[in-house]
Structures are given as C-alpha cells and as structure tokens.
Structure 1
Amino acid sequence: MKVTPSQLSSLLQACIPARLPVLITGAPGIGKSDIVAQAAKAAAHDLLISHPVVEDPTDSKGLPFPAADGSGARFLPFGDLAQAIQSQRPLVWFIDDLGQASPAVQAAKMQLLLARRIGEHALPDHVTFLAATNRRVDNAGVSNVLDPLKSRFATIVELEPSLEDWTRWAVRNSVPPVLIAFLRFRPDLLVSQERMREIENRESPRTWGHVARLLPVLPPELQLAGITGAVGAGAAGELIGFMRVWRDMPSVAEILAAPHSARIPETLAAQNAIATALGHAANENNFDRVMVYADRLVDAGLNEFAVMLVSDAVRRDASLAATPAFVVAQSGPIGAALLGQ
C-alpha cells in the first residue's frame, strides 16, 4: 500500500498510541526517518533510534553472564535494549534501515516485536515499535526482510513522495523560494527514478534539502558545481537556468511598493516563481498589498498562482488568516478556490 507523507504521518499518529508496530518501506532520502520523528513528537513520545545494520544479535537479547555458582547464565540487556526496558515515559523505538541488517540480527528482533520481551526481560507497555527500510530495487544494500519478521508488523506501507507535502515542509522551513518555485515548475525532478552505481547523488527530497542549504552560501561561480554534486548535472543545469528567469522578474520589493501597477510576468515559469516569492515574503504588515497583487493575478486569468500565493503565505504564518485582507478575499474567487482545496 503506497501512502503520501501526510497520510503516513496520520497513520503513525493513530498507531503509536495503540502500540501497533508499523514497517515503512521506500526509496532513500524521501523522509521516512523525519516523519517518524515528527509523529513521535506529535504523540508526546520519546524517540529511540536503532541501526541494526551495525548491530550484533546480542544487541537484541543481551550479553550472557554466568551465575556465581556456574549453574547457568542470564542475558543482561545493554545499549538500546536496556534503555527501552528502563524507560519511564512513552517511547517510540524506531528500527532504521532494517533491511540492511544481517539475517541473524533480524531474527533476534522477532521475539521483541511479537512477545515484547527477551527471556526474563519484558518491555514496558508504553514502548511502540516502528521500522523503516529501503527496497531491494533501491541499490541500498537491502537483501530482504525475513518473512517471520515482516508478519510481526501490524501493517507495512510504502512511502511515496508528494510535491504538495514537500512544499508544505519547505514553506514552513524557510527553504529559498526560488527552489520551491523550481520544483513546482518541474515536479518530476523531486525524486529520480534512476539507480546509480557511481558515487554521485540524484534527486530526492533529502538532496533537494541539501540544495536549500547550499544556495545561500555558494558564490555564483560555484553554484553549478555544488548543486550538481547534490542532485546531478541535469537537474542542476535546469535549476541554474530557472534562477536566471528568477533574476529577470520584478522584485518582491517592487511589487510591494506598487502592487496596483507592478508588472505581471508573461512566462509560466516566472508567474510560478513570483507567486512563490510573494507567498514567502508575506506578513501581517504587507499582506494587504500582497492581496492587491493576488487579485490582479485573478483578473489576468492566473487563478492557480493567486491561490498558490495565498496558500503558501497562510501555511507559513497562520495568523494571516485573521487579517482583514484575507477575510475580504474569502468572499471572492480566491476564497472559493481555497475552500475547494
């Protein structure tokens, strides 16, 4: 079953309090770990992250320790297992990259997931298991997940990236608006379908996040090289070309200074870009002027970009929904379109 990031977040927030273990599959770099961390926080649970690819089977069952009289031995928990057993607060135990672990390490997880105990050591009731793995087709060193281990999860879902969900994240995390506008213009570049054998990066939500951090610090003469190293030559070349369009647009300052007369770009890429830039710059002090320009976009037949502008602005700052300009807009075409989203 394929789910979007927002669907996965809702699923985890339902399963975590019910103590239902979930296995998440999907390509590398699409946000599996981040979504788990956000869901744990939303459920007010602590988060414990294990990496079984670097574990030994004893990590999951404890170290054997002989009794003083030599009559037997006890398995003493340590590391993540000890932390989970001794936890006092609700806890999400997240087993990351499960499919890269050896069969022996995977087998050692079976009793934990089903019986919630190892030998004499029982897990507290407030511990919930979540796990994630790449797929065998992802060139990520995944051989398989043992069938008996898979069956111990209440459900297995495959995360599929969504541009809409990525955009929501990007707007809230102050990603440069030129990058948001570019991926809206070229949504097929959000995730590469190629699997490379060479040592190079390809497009994914994670690597576009790297680009977001590179853009503010790279001088112009190094942008192509840096972005190519993050997402590959093809996507980097397209982004650099899009940034030239961005530089030729009317500036946000120009539009806010004269929203009734500022130029509306003629090309689709520039219209997309300016709507994204204005949504990023909107605040309570300038939102009335932003809405003047948004209304002009509607008059020019660019309803989609007007709605995108207003949606971005309100996602970044929910208080804008209480401004007089937004209240007025709700009675017009923009409001009708927003209600239909």
Structure 2
Amino acid sequence: MKENTQSITMSELKTLIQCNLNALWSKDNYLADTPEKRASMIPPLMVWGAPGLGKSTVVREITEELKIGFIDVRLAQREPVDMRGLPVPENDRVKWLVSSEWPRDPKSRGIIMFDELTAADRTLQVASYEFILDRRLGDLYKVPPGWYILAAGNRVEDKAVACAMSSALANRFLHVEVRAEAESFLQWATSHNIHPAVINFIRYRPERLFCQEKENLQRGWPSPRSWERVSTMLKISDHCQQPSILNNALPGLIGEGTAAEFQSFLQNRFFMIGNCDIRERLLSGEPIQPPERIDMKYACCGAISYHISMEPDPDKLKMMLESCLKFALKLSGDFSMMLITDVMNNLKKTGDLKLLLTHPLYAEWRTKFQKGKNGNS
C-alpha cells in the first residue's frame, strides 16, 4: 500500500463516489456558482487495488442505479491519438478529429472511467494528463460538467501488469486503495443472487474471500470476482445435476487449497441434512433440527433462504415461511437473526415480504429476540 493512500472498503468507495456525484450535480452552489466550476473543483478519483476486487463493477453498478452514462476506457489498449485526436490534412492546414465516444451533450451526466490506468505506458499516461486534469483536449473538446472522471489500477506489488504512475499524473488524483472485506461482499452477494453456498462459506471463512499468498497467481485464486464465477459454476452444476464438474472447475477459479476447503464445506452443506432434502422438509412442515456443527448451521440457513427466494408459488411459499420461522425459533440469536434478515431481503425483492411480516410466528420470533433471549443451538 502506498504510504499516503487511504484504505477503504467497497461500500465506502461507493459512498465516496456517490457523494462526489451529488456535489457535481448540486443546485445549492455551495462549491461554486456554475456547473463548470464545480466540475473543475472536484478532484478525479484514483482507485488502487489488487485484481479481482470488483473496482470497475462498483462503478458500473452506480451508473446503472442512477441511470447515467458510463464510458469505460482501457488506456493500455489505446493509442495516443485516441486521446489527443487524429490529425487529418485539409488543404493548407490540419484538422483534428476527436473520438466519437466522448460525451457531447452539455446536459448529460455520467462517469468516465480510465480502467487499468497503471497498465498503460508512460506515453499514454502523458496523453491523458490534459483530459483528466483540465477536462478538455485543447480547444477541440470539453467534458460536459455533469460527467465525473475516475481511474482504477493495480499496484506494482500485485504482480499484475502495472507501470509506475508518473508524479505529474499522480498529483492530479484523489487516491484511495480498496481492500477486500467480507461484510461488503456479503451485502453485495445477497442482493445479486450469488449462490448460497458461496455466501455461507464466506460467512464461515471470511479470510478466504481474498487470498493471494498461498495460491498460484498465474492460475486461479480467491477474490470477489472469482467467487462470483464459482457461484455461476454451482448454478450450472445444480441445473445439470452434475456435481462432479466442480472437481475440475473450482481449482481453476480459486486455487487448489481454497477449492479443497470449499468442497469439504459443500459435502456437509446446503441441500441435505442427514438424508433429507431441505426443500421437501420446508414444504412438508416436518421439523428441521439445527445442526450442531457451525459450518452446517451456516449451510442450512443458506439453503432455507435460497429455497424461499426461488419459490414462485404463493401457497408453497407460505408453507416454507412457516417451516422457516419454526426453525429460526430453535436457533441461537446470531444465526436466527442472520436467517430471517436474509429471508426478508429476498422477499423484498420479490414483493412477498408481507407474507412473512403478517405470519403469527413472525410476531413470536420478533418478541423472543427483541427481549434478547437465545434459542436452542
């Protein structure tokens, strides 16, 4: 980490970007009395971090949530003329043609992101100076004031393609360094339909969210990005009913060591307690007893939440919620709160939250845990 670089989580990064956007678009004029002046006052952001943390994903999701423009510039894949413009002879003079990708509408809003900036060589970095600092390309082009400029890149110590940033360019940025943090990842994963086995493994072993030290960095290793891909492979395996494909897929995504630990977790996990299918138990009303092992508790809670989130039939959903609440009343406080919170978040997305909140057992559950009592573990 650079000595003068603040380390923040992904959630904190998202908040910082949103605050800068609000300042850029503010009608209060507390920074300046014109949009152009505000745009020149707010420093562009440089986001440092290891590969696979989801730096560009956070930025893209902000633009999707706000329904604003997003231009992703991979500077290492460009030529200097892409930044400065292309000279075209015209009679006795030269006419410069500027790339059509840059926004022209003066009232438009969005984010221009120079991703993988540190992978660009010095020539390209120099070509980007004026755009990043002055928000312009000579007299040819000006960035509309509603657009925010930021960049992202890997550090030299990440063993990725990374060039040292020149001091002239570095001085133009507000620098932050993002770190992998389980709580931020779990919040994101819960709202993005990540497979419950991944969510509950990271809850159980948060230190395995991101780990480069013992893994082969030329192949797979654990990172937020690779865990998202693990989720995809789990869904494919579930749909094809071919769990054996995971034996080959997981080491290539998260490395052999983490894959072995995760597969051990899967063997105890989420659809089976003893020889009984969790979904069948939820629908039958037959009691589900909390497992004694902590990893299996995480797995069981994740399975229950997952099946509830995937149930389209309202009548079956009601039966599953009743079984879920009965199970939650038997759990200790932390696990019970985790389960019901996950279920509530999933039901909010489907518009079925009222089915839970109006259930008589929910009132009993709420009373029990509001008083700080613990259930049986």
The alignment's TM-score, normalised by the length of structure 2, stands at 0.80
CA contact (8 A) 1:64 1:75 kept: yes
Equivalent residue for 2:155, pick from 114, 127, 135: 135
Does the 8 Å CA contact 1:52/1:96 hold for their aligned counterparts? yes
1:116-131 matches, cutoff 5 A: 116-120=135-139, 121-131=141-151
Gaps of 5+ in 2: 1-5, 25-38, 310-316
Q: 2:246 maps to what in 1?
A: 223
After TM superposition, give the deviation of residue 290 of structure 1 in Å. 1.2
Q: Which of 294, 301, 306 is 1:280 aligned to?
A: 306
What secondary structure is seen at the aligned counterpart in 1 of 2:244?
helix
AA aligned to 1:253 is: R
8 A contact 1:95–1:130 mirrored in 2: yes
SS of residue in 2 equivalent to 1:27: coil
1:289 aligns with 2:319: no
The 3 A distance-change label for structure 1 pair 99 and 280 is: same
The Cα of 1:77 is off from its aligned counterpart by 0.2
* 1:23 match: 46
Counterpart contact for 1:287–1:320, Cα < 8 Å: no
Aligned to 1:43: 66
Contact 1:252 1:277 in 2 (8 A): yes
Structure 1 range deviating more: 170-179 or 267-276 = 170-179
Report the AA paired with residue 31 of structure 1. G
Q: Which residue of 1 aligns with 2:219?
A: 200
Supply the AA of the counterpart residue of 2:346.
Answer: R
**Alignment match of 1:307 (pick from 326, 332, 337):** 337
Which residue of the partner structure matches residue 210 of structure 1? 229
1:332 aligns with 2:332: no
TM-score, normalised by the number of residues in structure 1: 0.88
**What letter corresponds to residue 269 of structure 1 in structure 2?**
D
CA contact (8 A) 1:330 1:336 kept: no
Three-state SS of the structure 2 residue aligned to 1:332 is helix
User: Cα offset for 1:276?
Assistant: 1.7
Aligned residues: 328
Quick one: distance in 2 between partners of 1:320 and 1:293? 20
8 Å contact from structure 1 (residues 96, 131) kept in 2:
yes
* Structure 1 residues 227-263: Cα deviation after superposition (integer angstroms, max 9, x where no partner): 1111111111111111111165253235424667322
2:279 aligns to what?
A: 253
The one-letter code sitting in structure 2 at the alignment partner of 1:329 is W
**How far does the alpha carbon of each residue in 1:57-106 deviate from its partner, in whole angstroms, 9 at most, with x for none?**
11111012234224xx23220243xx324576212111100000011111
Cα pair 2:45 2:150 within 8 Å, conserved = yes
**Cα root mean square deviation, aligned:** 2.4
- For 2:134 and 2:68, the matched residues in 1 are separated by 21
1:266 to 292, 306, 309: 292
Change in 2 beyond 3 A, CA 1:196/1:89 = same
Find the aligned partners of 1:123 and 1:68 in 2 and give their Cα distance: 29
Equivalent-residue separation in structure 1 for 2:59 and 2:329 (angstroms): 39
